[in-house]
Amino acid sequence: MTTLAAEIRARIAAEGPITVADYVARCAAHYYAARDPLGRGGDFTTAPEISQMFGELIGMWTAALWRMLGEPAALNLVELGPGRGTMLADLLRAANVMPPFRRALSVHLVETSAALRERQREALAASGAAVAWHDMLDTVPEAPAIYLANEFFDALPVHQAIRQAEGWYERTIEAGGDGALQFGVGQRCDDVVLARLHHAPAGSVFEWRGEAAPHALATRVARHGAALIIDYGHARSAVGDTLQAVRAHAFHPPLADPGTADLTAHVDFEALAAVARRAGARVHGPIEQRTFLARLGIVERAAMLKSKATPEQADDIDAALDRLTAATPTGMGRLFKVLAIADARLGPLPAFDA
C-alpha cells in the first residue's frame, strides 16, 4: 500500500466516499511533487519530446501573434505545465531569427513540481532567457501575453457522473470490503450534466471539469492576448469514461497504487470553448493537431531538416512526423485537438481561419 493510498482510505473511513475529482487532485499532487515523469525512463512522452519541429512551429505561431498584437516591446510568454521546458527551449531558439520578437519576451512558467522546475532551468539555460516561476496563474503579472498549454488541461481534476434509471449521480471513490478502492455512486447531479448533455442510456458516464482555470485564462486573454491549448480530447461534449492512468508507458488501473501513475482524462473542448466565450474571449477551433501542424508547415520543416541529416536521422524525422500527425483514431494527429482563445479584436488567427 502506498502512502497516498493509506491517506485516502483513512479519509474515506473518517468522512465517507470522495469524488473522482478529489481523488484525481490528490493523486496529481502526490505524483508530480518530486518526479520527472517524462521520456523513455518515465511514464509518458509529449509532443515536444518527440521532435524539435513541434516547438519550432509553436514559435512561428507565437511570433505571428506578436505581430497581430501590434509588436509590443514587452510581451509575457506564459506556459502552463511546461514539462521539461523542451517546447519552450525550441520555441526560443526558433525566435532568434526575429530579434525584436525575441527581445520582447518575458518568460513565465506555471509549475508546482520542484523536480520539473529543475529540468526546465537546465533546458532553458542556453537560451539566456530570464525566467520567472509561479505556482499558479494568479501570480503571473497582468500584461499583453501569449499563453501556451500543451497537455495541461487533461491533468486537471475531472468529475464523473453515472446515469442511473432515475437520473445522473456523481461517481465517487470508496473502499470495498477488502479495503481496495472502487467506484461508488454519490449525490444526484442532474443539473450539472443536463446543462451539457440531454440524454444518454443507463450506465453511461459523463465527465466535466471545474470552470475556474479556463475562466481565469480566458479573462486574461480577452483583455489583451491569446492562448494556445493543445490536448487530447473530444470536440463535442459526449458520454464516455476516459479516466486513465499510465505508468512506464503502459496503461495502469486508475484506482490501483494511487499517486504512482500519470492520471488524466480527455478534454471536453466544447465545454472549454463555452467558458472562454462567457469570459469575453473569441474562440478559434478546435482543429485536429495534424491540421494545425500542416498549416504551419511541418511537412516542409521536416524536408528542410532531412536535407541536412544522415540517413538514420532522416528516418527519425520521418517517424516523428508520422507520430505527430497520425490520422488513425488514436493517433496524435487526430486525437489531439488545438484550440485558441483570444482578444476578440484580433480577428482571424494563423492556422485556424485558413
Average pLDDT along the chain, 354 residues, taken 10 residues at a time: 87 96 95 79 86 97 96 97 96 95 96 93 93 97 95 96 94 90 95 82 94 96 96 95 93 92 95 97 97 97 96 96 94 96 94 81
pLDDT for 354 = 56
Query: Do residues 57 and 79 both lie within one domain?
Result: yes
Same domain, 125 and 55: yes
On whether residue 255 sits in a domain, the answer given is no
The verdict on residue 250 lying in a domain is no
Q: What is the CATH number of the domain that holds 85?
A: 3.40.50.150
Q: Are residues 181 and 220 in the same domain?
A: no
Phi-psi category of 245—alpha, beta or left, where left has phi over 0 and alpha has psi -120 to 50? beta
Query: What grid cell was written down for 156?
Result: 486537471
Q: Is 312 inside any structural domain?
A: no
Residue 317 maps to a domain = no
Angle of helix 311-325 relative to helix 289-296, nearest 10 degrees, comes to 130
Preceding omega of 72 cis (within 30 degrees of 0): no
Q: In the prediction, which pLDDT does 36 show?
A: 81
What does the alpha-carbon distance between residue 334 and residue 288 come to, in Å, rounded to a whole number? 5
Whether residue 24 sits in one domain with residue 92: no
How many Å apart are CA 55 and CA 283, to the nearest integer?
Answer: 22
User: What are the residues whose beta carbons fall under 8 Å from the beta carbon of 331, sequence distance 6 or more?
Assistant: 323, 325
| Same-domain status, 189 and 332 | no
Tell me, yes or no, whether 14 and 41 share the same domain: no
Shared domain check, 110 and 45: yes
Please check whether residues 186 and 267 belong to one and the same domain: no
Shared-domain flag, residues 60 and 36:
yes
Main-chain dihedrals φ then ψ at residue 17, nearest 5 degrees: -55, 150
Residues 55 and 194 in one domain: no
What would you report as the CA-atom Rg of the chain, rounded to the nearest whole angstrom? Answer: 21
Please report whether residue 218 resides in a domain.
yes
Residue that has been written with the C-alpha cell 448533455 in this structure: 197
38 and 152 assigned to the same domain: yes
pLDDT at 194: 81
Cell digits of residue 91: 520555441
Residue 98 domain boundaries? 31-156+210-236+262-295+323-346
Does residue 50 share a domain with residue 120? yes
Distance CA 105, CA 83 (A): 20
For residue 340, the SS3 value is strand
